[in-house]
Every structure is written in C-alpha cells, then in structure tokens.
Amino acid sequence: MSQSHMDDQARLQENTGLPPNRNLKGRFGFGKNKRPRKDLQNGVGYIFLSPFVIGTILLTMFPILYSLYLSFTNYSMGGTPEWIGFGNYVHMFNNDAMFWQSMEVTFFYAGTAVPLRLIFALFVAIILNKVIEMVGVYRTLLYLPSVVGGSVGVAIMWRQLFGNEGAVNGVLSMLGLPTHSWLGDPNTAIWTLVILYGWQFGSSMLIFLAGLRNIPTSFYEASAVDGARPIQQFFKITLPMLTPVILFNVIMQTIQGFMAFTPAYVVTAGDPINSTLLYILYMYRQAFEYFNMGYAAALAWVMLVIIAILTAIIFKSSQYWVHYEDK
C-alpha cells in the first residue's frame, strides 16, 4: 500500500512541477500563522465541499429566498414582479374560496391516507417478521408498489381500475354487488386517491420491519414465561418498542401526504367539483395555468408553515408517547 502511495505522490509532483515540501501557505490564502498545515487541510475540505455548498446556495437557497420575495409580489409569468406586501396572503385568506377548498381536501387526504398507510405498513411488517423462508422475495414484491407508485403510469392504471367500466366495478358486478361511479362521485373520488397512497406502503414497511427486528426476543420469551398472550405482547412490548420508528414514519409520511401532487393531477385532475383538488395541484394551477407566480409562491410558503407547525406538534407530542430504551 505505501509503495503505491509513494508512486502516486511522485507522479503528482512530476506533473505539477512543485517541490515536494513547499509550503503552500499564503499561496492559496488559507493557512494563517500558527498552524498552517491544519488550516490548509480544512481548506481542502472546503474545496471538496464546494460543489455541494455552491449547489445548495445557487440551486436551493437562492430559489427559496427568491420565492419568499415573489410571494410578496404580484408576478405574472414573464412580467416584472410588483411589490404588494401581504396582498397575496390577504387575498388568500379572505377572498379565495378555492384555497379553503383545497385546504380542506388536503387535510382530509393527509388525515386519512397517512394513518391508512402506516397501519397497513405495520400490519404487513409484523406478518413479514414471522415469515422465515424467502423473506427477500416477499419484501421485494411488497416494496414494488412504492417504487412504481408515484409514477404517472400507475396513476393512469388507477384511473382505469376505478373507472365506470373498470376492474373494480367488474369484480363488484361479478359478485352481484351494485357498481358505482367511483371517480365521478364527489364523495368517493378522494378515497381512490387515499387507497392509492395507502397501497404504496413499502418504504414505511421496511422501516417498521427493521424496527421489529431490533426488539430483543428475550422480551417476548420473558413475557411468555409470565403468561402474556400475543395480543398483550403486541401492546406491551412491540408497540412501545416501535414508537421511535413510528415517530419517524409519521413525520416523513405526513410531510409527503401534504405534498402529494401526481395522483390528483393524473387520476382525477381535481374533479369532480374540486373534491380532489389537493393543495399542491391548486398551487400548480395558479402558477402554470393562470400564470400567477407570485400568488403561487405565497401558497407554497403557507404550506411550508403548515407542515412546519404540524411537524413541531408531532415532535412536541412525542415526549408523551415515544419510548426510548435508554431512558
């Protein structure tokens, strides 16, 4: 190892023509006085970081701050932003019925779809935890919907499944049950999206599964000796031991649920009568169909604040229900 090390070094010196021990302090302006070597090494670190730092500043921080600025302007695509203070926010809360409609839809969607996905993921993870053979195959198959689930293709398939002539109605009529216009009825359309979200339970399931594997079997053995039944074991051991993982999943999934866009855009386009108008879809419409970029930016910031508050509440509440083993 050290031999090739030396070779490399020699070659690099040759290429740059720099003497091996030349002090680089000052040349690049890094090392200051006392500990040049150490600071210089930090400099190298920063250089290595620079693509990401520059990338973050240019491609993330700048757009974020710019959108904050735009949210205080009347900015029509292609025009010049015109400062209107809190005008967008005032309009949103006072005069925009569609804003409240989309808010209602989104809270309903996240409020039902996130628990559905988590309960389902936990359920499947517990079953999978008991499976001994071919776990890898099952795990892969069950994870599959999450890989393809966000795609447009699946959304189109969903539309077919729940269509008037779709597979769901086909099965229902085969069983002699009444069929229903799932996507055409304002009361049921949102549920097709909720189920689509729940169906993509794969990533939460994997995390639950890892959590389950981490619970020492000795706990179960000891409780079994004391005469605990499986249902008691689940509520007294499994669930408390899983709470840190549940917390993580709840936060991640809640954020994702509030930002859902594709299903509403492709499966239902917000119809019927805006019963599936998710917030991000409404924001997209304001931006790319009505060209109200400033207003759309304001909508985005309101959602950011809502998600931040919800996340904070969940974190705050965690001290009452999350159990950490080391405490």
Residues near another protein (CB under 8 A) are 8-9, 12-13, 15-16, 18, 20, 24, 28, 37, 40-41, 44, 47-48, 50-51, 76-79, 95-97, 163-165, 181, 183-186, 271-274, 285, 287-291, 293
**Interatomic CA distance for residues 203 and 222, integer angstroms:** 31
Name the helix (H) or strand (E) containing 82.
strand 82-83
CB of 295 to another protein, least distance (A): 10
CB 207 within 8 A of CB 129: no
CB of 17 to another protein, least distance (A): 10
Residues β-bridged to residue 97: none
Q: 205 or 287, CB closer to another protein?
A: 287
> Token pair of 302, please?
């309101």
Own/partner pairs, 126-132, CB within 8 angstroms, 24+ separation: 126/208, 126/212, 126/234, 126/238, 128/205, 128/209, 129/209, 129/212, 129/213
For the chain, the C-alpha Rg in angstroms (whole number) is 27
CB of 77 to another protein, least distance (A): 5
**Interatomic CA distance for residues 6 and 12, integer angstroms:** 10
Q: 115 or 272, CB closer to another protein?
A: 272
Q: 37 or 236, CB closer to another protein?
A: 37
Q: 41 or 140, CB closer to another protein?
A: 41
CA atoms within 13 A on the CB side of 71: 19
**Interatomic CA distance for residues 66 and 301, integer angstroms:** 12
Q: 31 or 198, CB closer to another protein?
A: 31
**Amino acid in the structure at residue 128:** L
φ, ψ (nearest 5 deg) of residue 101: -60, -50
> Token pair of 16, please?
């740059």
Q: 223 or 274, CB closer to another protein?
A: 274
CB of 305 to another protein, least distance (A): 24
CB of 95 to another protein, least distance (A): 5
CB of 64 to another protein, least distance (A): 17
Angle at 263 between CA 259 and CA 269, to 5 degrees: 105
**Interatomic CA distance for residues 264 and 274, integer angstroms:** 10
CB of 105 to another protein, least distance (A): 14
Q: 117 or 285, CB closer to another protein?
A: 285
Please, what sign has the CA dihedral across residues 229, 235, 236, 241? positive
Q: 274 or 311, CB closer to another protein?
A: 274
Name the helix (H) or strand (E) containing 158.
helix 152-161
CB of 68 to another protein, least distance (A): 18
